[in-house]
Amino acid sequence: MAGLTYLKSVVTLELSADQCTGCRMCTTVCPHDVFVIKEKRARIVNRDACMECGACAQNCPGDAISVRSGLCGCASIFIRGQKHGRMTRYFFRMWGYEV
């Protein structure tokens, strides 16, 4: 998707090649073409395009992929939709204070 990439080097996507079975499932489910299969193993080639939807991790039979997914983890989690005071706590945690 030319022109629209989000922040660089923030994605939590991790792939452990040892556990990869080469089943290609990650390349099938990824909506942003993050993976390729090379030498029967998955590889991350388009890391910054990852939107952390978690589809790959869900569908990896070898549990080789981990990602902190939050598909709908929109900014609204900061603004609304949390129990009273939750937002404030989020903010404190973001800057390293435990509340």
Partner 1 sequence: MIVFGIFTFESSRKATQEMDTQSCRDNELQKNQECCCRAEMKKPDVPTNGIKHGLRKGKQEDGQHWIAGYVDTPVGRIPRIETTLQFKDRLGSWKARWSIGRMDYAVDPGLYAVGDPDPKSPVFVSANYKMSFDVLRSHLKGMSAWVLVLDTKGINVWCAAGKGTFGTDEIVNRIQQTGLSEVISHRTIIVPQLGAPGVSAHRVKEQSGYRVIYGPVRASDIPPFVENHFKTTPEMRIVQFGLIDRLVLTPIEIVSWGRRMFWGKHGLVLILMLLLVSGLDRSGFALKKVLILGPEALLMYAAAFLCGTFFTPLLLPWLPGRALSVKGAFLGLLVVLGVGWYRWGAPGGLGVKVNILAWLFLLPTISSFIAVTFVGATTYTSLSGVFKEMKRAVPAYIATTIIGVVLLVFGQFA
Q: Please give the residue ranges that form the binding site for partner 1 (CB under 8 A).
A: 1, 3-8, 10-12, 25, 28-33, 49-55, 58-59, 61, 68-88, 91, 94-95
Of 23 and 41, nearer to partner 1 (C-beta) is: 23
Of 41 and 77, nearer to partner 1 (C-beta) is: 77
Cα atoms in the Cβ-side hemisphere of radius 13 Å centred on 47: 12
Angle in degrees, CA 16, 19, 25, rounded to 5: 90
CB of 37 to partner 1, least distance (A): 12
CB 59 within 8 A of CB 29: yes
CB of 40 to partner 1, least distance (A): 18
70 Cβ contact partners less than 8 Å away, ≥ 6 residues apart: 52, 54, 77
CB of 52 to partner 1, least distance (A): 4
